[in-house]
Structures are given as C-alpha cells and as structure tokens.
C-alpha cells in the first residue's frame, strides 16, 4: 500500500470512527469500539474496500497512531465528535504543554481561553514541534504554551490518549502564555 492509499484509508476510518459511523451503517460501543469484521463489511458495502491486512498496516504505520486494534475490535484513539467514553484515567500533566493554532483565532482565545470546539476536549501537544504541525493545518502556525502545572493545581483534569495527545476540557486564558 503506498503513502497515498494509506492516507486515504486513514481519512476514511477517521471520518467513520470519530464523526459519522452512521454514514456506513456502523454503531460504536460506549468506548468507541467496533468489530473489525463489521467495519470491513461496512466499508465494502459502501464502495470502499479495505482488507484486514490494509487495516493492520494503517493502524501500525499511521504516523499519529490514530487507531487502536484490540481483541478483534478497532477504535480511534482520540478526536471524536460523537459521544464516546475512552475510559482514560486522569493523569498529572507535565508542567508545560503546547497548543498549535493560527493567528486569526488569537483574539477569541485571549477572551475565552481554548475551547474544545467540535471535539470533546481541547487537544494539547507534549512538545513544540508537534504543536507547530497541528497549527500548520490552519495557516501560519502560532504555538501557545500552556501552564498545565498551574491548571492541575487548580483542580483541572488532564488525560492522555493512547497516542500521546493530552486532553482537557477547557484551557482558561490565565493558563495560556502567548508568544511575543
């Protein structure tokens, strides 16, 4: 499978395992899992044939480890807009985390802090490089440093998804260090 195909399958899976399972007639369980067999049949039935070997490669090689395969089931590791409980335990965050965004959002972020927007949680990166990549999806990247230690002190909770993305419900403006 070439890079392009890998990306296409990853996008198709993201769409249906995070946002719109109903579109291909699948249902996610409470934890966001679906049987691999059911998923593959649904993909085929909707004109997007993927075999088990392709699926395993996407899970293994996806640069961001977007998916987890366990006991014949698959789910997205994070990024859902549909209601799922990933079953992640609260965890003490590192002192500083990062958020990649772009300039046109900064005024609103200064006012309201970081909101989850369409997702369940605000996504934070463990390092600046990752945050730059995330921000670049929206334009010229701007990296915000987040005072996670102080947030934790104030009782705000963090979780870490299986692929190392840090998740929290809201980042108040006081915890954000703006560049410049």
Binders in 33-72 for ligand HQG, by CB under 6 A: 64, 66
Among 3, 83, 117, 153, contact with ligand HQG (rule: CB under 6 A): 117
* Range list of β-strands (E), the chain: 34-35, 67-70, 73-76, 96-102, 122-124, 141-147, 159-160, 166-168, 176-177
Residue number with CB closer to ligand HQG (41 or 96) = 96
Stretch that binds ligand HQG, among 25-33, 46-54, 115-123, 148-156 (CB under 6 A): 115-123
What is the 3-state composition of the chain as percent helix, strand, coil, each rounded to the nearest 5?
A: 40, 20, 40
Q: Is 109 in the site for ligand HQG (CB under 6 A)?
A: yes
The backbone torsions φ and ψ at residue 40, rounded to the nearest 5 degrees and listed phi first, read: -65, -40
Asked whether 73 and 35 are in contact (CB, 8 A), the reply is yes
Stretch that binds ligand HQG, among 22-30, 40-48, 117-125, 152-160 (CB under 6 A): 117-125
Among 21, 32, 79, 93, contact with ligand HQG (rule: CB under 6 A): 79
Residues contacting residue 103 through CB under 8 Å, at least 6 positions apart: 139, 140, 142
Q: Is 80 in the site for ligand HQG (CB under 6 A)?
A: no
d(CA 156, CA 147): 11
Q: Is 120 in the site for ligand HQG (CB under 6 A)?
A: no
Among 119, 120, 150, 157, contact with ligand HQG (rule: CB under 6 A): 119
Residues that bind ligand HQG (CB under 6 A): 64, 66, 79, 101, 105, 108-109, 112, 114-115, 117-119, 123, 134, 138, 165
């Amino acid at each position: 499978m070439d890079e392009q195909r890998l990306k296409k399958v990853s996008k198709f899976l993201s769409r249906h395992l995070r946002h719109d399972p109903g579109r291909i007639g699948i249902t996610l369980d409470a934890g966001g899992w679906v049987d691999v067999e059911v998923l593959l049949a649904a993909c085929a039935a909707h004109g997007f044939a993927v075999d088990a070997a392709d699926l395993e490669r996407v899970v293994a090689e996806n640069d961001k480890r977007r998916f987890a395969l366990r006991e014949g089931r698959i789910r997205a590791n994070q990024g859902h807009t549909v209601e799922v409980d990933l079953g992640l335990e609260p965890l003490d965050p590192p002192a500083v985390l990062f958020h990649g965004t772009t300039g046109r959002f900064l005024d609103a972020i200064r006012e309201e802090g970081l909101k989850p927007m369409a997702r369940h949680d605000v996504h934070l990166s463990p390092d600046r490089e990752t945050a730059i990549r995330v921000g670049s999806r929206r334009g010229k990247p701007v990296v915000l440093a987040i005072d996670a230690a102080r947030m934790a002190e104030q009782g705000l909770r963090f979780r870490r998804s299986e692929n190392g993305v840090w998740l929290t419900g809201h980042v108040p403006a006081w915890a954000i260090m703006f560049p410049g």
